[in-house]
A and B are shown apart, each in its own frame.
Chain A
Amino acid sequence: MSAPVRILTAVPICDGHDSAINTINLEFIRHGIEVVYLGFHRYAGDIVRAAIQEDVGAIGISSYNGGHVEFFAEVVRQLKKYNAADIKVFGGGGGTITHDDQRIMQRNGVDKIFFAGTSLGDMTQWVRQRYGTARKRSLGKSPDMKLARKLTEIEDSYAQRKRPRKKSAAKRHSLGKTRVLGFTGPGGAGKTTLIDEIVLRLLQREPKASVAILSHDPSVVGAGALLGDRATMINSQDDRVFMRSMATRGQAGGLSPATEDCLALLAQSDFDYVIIETVGTGQEAMPFQSKLIDQTVLVMNPDYGARLQLQKIVMLDLADIVVVNKSDLDRAKTAANEIERRLEGSKREQRLISTVAKRHRDRGVDKLCDLLMEKK
């Protein structure tokens, strides 16, 4: 088995026409492609940074509001600037991109433009063929790119089953400096938003700190995956943040087979914080077996159902911090009380915090951030 094709898609700045790219993303992931989706209204710089960190084979841009000649050229220019010209740029914009435009764009280094009327099948096939074969890649000059390419090597080696699936024996190299934080919880609890708010605070409170994020999304049948966390994590699109989106690639439990090794690599790199986010997990899940993780956070939605459900949630015994997010919901008070009772039985020291992550400058999130920054 070879590693899936990985691409990044986005819509340019001041453009919200995302219908085409949403459709194309869905089509791609059903045909085995891993798509990191950055969302609409994106600056060229954000696209290039993300593409390098995610180490994708190509960037697909869907542009409708004009200015495509300049925008595509800017993306290509920045890729060159970072020595990442092996990441190809392609895209479309229905009838708004003319044949004349396309000629200019190709001269500027754009790989391919898809015109109105191209079938989804043709596009998918083209992408798989063109970006599917392993490329010869420079190792990269910038630290981001070096790290990104090593992560790809790890992921790909698991995909090609070159590595034995051993339980990790990874040890922490650089003790002390890096704090590794694990976030997990059921789908819809608001983990992604919460992490992004934490990142915002970390960056503000420690003007020199750097953060790495390892975020997971499930692979679908057909082996593709839509890795969409970047679209939501607006504060994490920053030069001081290194973010990597991983697909679970068939592994249950919330993480990918390659996670442990990737995490080890990140923990040894020079970050102040490394944050790992699982996919939405079930009640029995206990994704964080790794010794690398300093602190684990379970993010709960107040709407977990009947109180009895709490007994079954294994992570409630294991998490260092339990967060009841969306605590503006009616049920939140009751939920916090019920969870508190559930934690009382525990022998370990566990903390319970209520947050409303979607609220700007939420005090609960401030408190959570304090806890996470506390040096032990």
Chain B
Amino acid sequence: MSKLGHVVEAVENYNRFVEDEVKRARSDKKFGRQMLERWDEIKRNIKIGTAPTGLKLPRLALPEIDEAGDITRYLLGEGLPGEFPYLSGAYREMYLEPWQEPKIELGSFEKNGRKKNGQNKNGHAENGASGLTKPKQAEEPTRLFSGLMLAEDTNKRFHFLSAHQRSKRLSTAFDGVTLYGIDSDADGVLGKIGEGGVAVDTVEDMMRLYDGFELGSPNFSASMTISGPAPIIMAMYIAAAKRRFGPEVVPNLRGTIQADIFKEVQAQNETIFPTEASLRFLGDMMEWTTRHMPRWYPVSISGYHIGEAGSTPVQQAAYTLSNGFAYAEMMAKRGLSADEFGPRLSFFLDCGLDVEYIALTRVSRRIWAIGMRDVFGAGPKAQLFKVHTQTSGRSLIAAEFRNNLTRTAAELMLAYMNGTNSSHSNSADEPFTTPSEEWIRLSAHSQAILLEESGIFKHVMNMLSGSPGMKAVERAVEAAILEEFRQIESLGGVMGAVENRYQRSQIQNAAHRYEEQIYNGTRPMIALNKYRNEHEEMPEFELARTPRAKQQLQVHRLQQFKKKNAKKAEQALEKLIGVVETDENCFPALMEAAEVCSLGQIVTRLQEVVGRFRPMV
């Protein structure tokens, strides 16, 4: 049995445990009384806040129950926000307005004992492509995914976007050429350079990309959306940081690199080495950063791409969680403890409009916590499912595209109902091109409107959780996820299922059904198959395209770099493959190679040793 099988058992056992405890609370007087007392104490400690209208509201909402069994089921089965199994939330206050000490002291609050009011443990801003969960005063939450043309162009965009921000959190999109580990001077890629993201070939590009930013400062973090060549890009980032700030900077680097290779094989299709070799390079990097870069998130376990490739919400959660457990198993095998690697794992989910999304993240958080605690022996910090949520790009369509604002806002609301740690809202022009500033601004504002302007999330934790409908969805979703786990387990665990094309074929069938439903009308898409405006014309956008001259400049720079470093590059590559042939950790050698080699040079040489990825249909 792989660890996934044990996770299934652990969740089943936990659910049984909860029900047993419920019975015990009802039959064992003493235990029942303890639960009631605890409930009373929780209630006593709830602070009362005031809405702008003057209405007084409790900052924590609880179900209206007073019987010991029900209380037990709630406290153990769901947990208060910030308490195991974290169904209600990973942290306590999350989106709440900072606590203001009331002028007249209320007796009951003194017992609370909490000194730091209004703390907001933003577990995961680093991973964030955009808005923080915490409503900030003087800042606009415009931390958006960007990458365009050459490094200096993206750098300019970064400075523009973060000009008014105290803490600068940049999220980097790479062009397809980089995502596939190919050099810009390779045959057949001219025309693709700088499209859809920034072109990065060398450590020098990396330096230009983050020029003027204080890497290693607590107020700076970089997020890099790249997976296939992630270990190499990571090595380049470290090399660039060292060149500018010296080797001391390394332990202080903050940020996230996506790096999740399972979802590449399953959904995003940017794998460049055979799966096992890719996992080895990833594991080497994860192990190294976990030991030497305590503030770095070396993998963002992503359901987003699975969802966008057309999976059902349950498939998305099931494959993402199982991939996560497979990484945990991999790190454990390398001798790291769950408390070492657990806190460095983070997640990235998609949020669309299907009903499952009301509770998908909540359930995921619960399953992750139980699995990490009971199968991997993780302590509290390593049990947390820290998640960045992006609204669904696929749900955004070309027909009357302004409707996409509404779709995104609704999805964002669902994401907040799930207590996401950070979020990115897509722009309404998503179907057409790299978002333009006009629409980026609107989508960023939708976050602020929901969290800051509206009263939905800022007064009461748990505001929209725990309704009977939501609970029904939670139960159905959890059961369905466990069923998917069993399927995967029966195929030999995640790796076996991957080799059997299991996840891919499931996703493809779901995607086909989705499109079929749109065109047979059973899945309403407003302005497409319902309330359609027959006279609508396709809008024309100004598209972000990289001028040929810039593409040629990139090629020229790369060739200069290669000429300059030719000798050293050869030595570094020889050394690298020497290590790769052993089972030593090759990340240190990769960092050396990244100083003098281009991305493509490293990839090509590694492929000679480990082979190329063999795509699956």
Residues of A near any B CB (own CB < 8 A): 13-16, 18-19, 22-23, 26-27, 37, 39-41, 43-45, 65-67, 70-71, 94-96, 98-100, 115-117, 119-121, 188, 193, 196, 226, 228, 231-232, 234, 358-361
* A-contact 0/1 string along B539-556, CB 8 Å cutoff: 011010100000000000
Interface residue from B195, B277, B308, B397 paired with A65 (Cβ < 8 Å): B195
Contact present for B188 and A231 (CB under 8 Å): no
Q: How far is B508's CA from A231's CA once the two chains are assembled, in angstroms?
A: 16
Interface residue from B182, B308, B509, B538 paired with A115 (Cβ < 8 Å): B538
- 11 inter-chain pairs at a CB distance below 8 angstroms, sorted by A residue, are A13-B189, A19-B308, A22-B617, A43-B188, A95-B433, A96-B431, A116-B431, A117-B528, A228-B617, A234-B612, A358-B274
B293, CB-defined interface residue at 8 Å: no
Q: Which residues of B contact A99 (CB under 8 A)?
A: 538, 540
Q: Which residues of A contact B615 (CB under 8 A)?
A: 39-41, 231-232, 234
B516, CB-defined interface residue at 8 Å: yes
Q: Which residues of A contact B499 (CB under 8 A)?
A: 358
Q: Kindly report which residue of chain B lies nearest to residue A196, judged by CB atoms.
A: B614
Q: Which residues of A contact B545 (CB under 8 A)?
A: 66
Q: Which residues of B contact A37 (CB under 8 A)?
A: 617
Q: How far is B432's CA from A65's CA once the two chains are assembled, in angstroms?
A: 11
Q: Which residues of A contact B512 (CB under 8 A)?
A: 22-23, 26-27
Q: How far is B611's CA from A13's CA once the two chains are assembled, in angstroms?
A: 19
Q: Which residues of A contact B611 (CB under 8 A)?
A: 359-361
Q: How far is the CB of A7 from chain B (nearest CB, A)?
A: 16
Q: How far is the CB of B190 from chain A (nearest CB, A)?
A: 8
Closest 6 interchain pairs by CB? A360-B611, A16-B269, A14-B176, A95-B431, A66-B195, A70-B191
Q: How far is B612's CA from A39's CA once the two chains are assembled, in angstroms?
A: 15
Interface residue from A22, A65, A117 paired with B192 (Cβ < 8 Å): A65
Contact A14-B508, Cβ < 8 Å, known A96-B433, A98-B432 = no
Q: How far is B510's CA from A19's CA once the two chains are assembled, in angstroms?
A: 10
Main secondary structure of the interface of B (DSSP, over half): loop
B179, CB-defined interface residue at 8 Å: yes
Contact A16-B191, Cβ < 8 Å, known A37-B617, A116-B399 = no
Interface residue from B433, B515, B516, B617 paired with A231 (Cβ < 8 Å): B617
Q: Kindly report which residue of chain A lies nearest to residue B431, judged by CB atoms.
A: A95
Interface size class of B (residues with CB under 8 A): 35 or more
B403, CB-defined interface residue at 8 Å: no
Q: How far is B516's CA from A43's CA once the two chains are assembled, in angstroms?
A: 30
Contact present for A41 and B188 (CB under 8 Å): no
Contact A234-B188, Cβ < 8 Å, known A40-B269, A67-B195, A119-B519 = no
Q: Which residues of B contact A120 (CB under 8 A)?
A: 515-516, 519
B332, CB-defined interface residue at 8 Å: no
Q: Which residues of B contact A67 (CB under 8 A)?
A: 191-192, 195
- Contacts beyond the supplied A19-B309, A66-B195, A360-B274: 18 A-B pairs with Cβ under 8 Å: A15-B176, A16-B270, A18-B309, A19-B308, A23-B511, A26-B508, A26-B509, A43-B188, A45-B188, A66-B192, A70-B191, A94-B398, A98-B538, A116-B398, A116-B431, A228-B617, A358-B274, A359-B611
* A-contact 0/1 string along B235-250, CB 8 Å cutoff: 0000000000000000
Q: How far is B177's CA from A287's CA once the two chains are assembled, in angstroms?
A: 44
Q: How far is the CB of B517 from chain A (nearest CB, A)?
A: 11
Interface residue from A22, A95, A193, A359 paired with B511 (Cβ < 8 Å): A22
Q: How far is the CB of B337 from chain A (nearest CB, A)?
A: 27
* A-contact 0/1 string along B514-549, CB 8 Å cutoff: 011011000000001000000000101101010000
Q: How far is B508's CA from A270's CA once the two chains are assembled, in angstroms?
A: 40
B180, CB-defined interface residue at 8 Å: yes
Q: How far is B9's CA from A281's CA once the two chains are assembled, in angstroms?
A: 37
Q: Which residues of B contact A100 (CB under 8 A)?
A: 540
B268, CB-defined interface residue at 8 Å: yes
* A-contact 0/1 string along B142-155, CB 8 Å cutoff: 00000000000000
B217, CB-defined interface residue at 8 Å: no
Q: How far is B509's CA from A27's CA once the two chains are assembled, in angstroms?
A: 11
Q: Which residues of B contact A15 (CB under 8 A)?
A: 176
B15, CB-defined interface residue at 8 Å: no
Q: Which residues of A contact B189 (CB under 8 A)?
A: 13-14
Q: Which residues of A contact B516 (CB under 8 A)?
A: 27, 120
Q: How far is the CB of A100 from chain B (nearest CB, A)?
A: 7
Q: Which residues of A contact B609 (CB under 8 A)?
A: 360
Q: How far is B518's CA from A360's CA once the two chains are assembled, in angstroms?
A: 43
B371, CB-defined interface residue at 8 Å: no
Contact present for A66 and B196 (CB under 8 Å): yes
Q: Which residues of A contact B298 (CB under 8 A)?
A: none
B610, CB-defined interface residue at 8 Å: yes
* A-contact 0/1 string along B474-512, CB 8 Å cutoff: 000000000000000000000000011000000011011
Q: How far is B513's CA from A120's CA once the two chains are assembled, in angstroms?
A: 11
Q: Which one of A37, A70, A96 has the highest number of Cβ atoms from chain B below 10 Å of its Cβ?
A: A96
Q: How far is the CB of A233 from chain B (nearest CB, A)?
A: 8
Q: How far is the CB of A197 from chain B (nearest CB, A)?
A: 9
Contact A14-B398, Cβ < 8 Å, known A71-B191, A94-B431, A232-B616 = no
Q: How far is B433's CA from A98's CA once the two chains are assembled, in angstroms?
A: 10
Q: How far is B407's CA from A172's CA once the two chains are assembled, in angstroms?
A: 66
Q: How far is the CB of B261 from chain A (nearest CB, A)?
A: 13
Contact present for A44 and B192 (CB under 8 Å): no
B310, CB-defined interface residue at 8 Å: yes
Q: How far is B568's CA from A298's CA once the two chains are assembled, in angstroms?
A: 48
Interface positions, chain B 577-617, Cβ under 8 Å from A, are 609-612, 614-617
Contact present for B397 and A14 (CB under 8 Å): no
Q: Which residues of B contact A70 (CB under 8 A)?
A: 190-191
Contact present for A188 and B500 (CB under 8 Å): yes
Contact present for A360 and B188 (CB under 8 Å): no
Q: Kindly report which residue of chain B lies nearest to residue A44, judged by CB atoms.
A: B188
Q: Which residues of A contact B617 (CB under 8 A)?
A: 22, 37, 39, 226, 228, 231-232
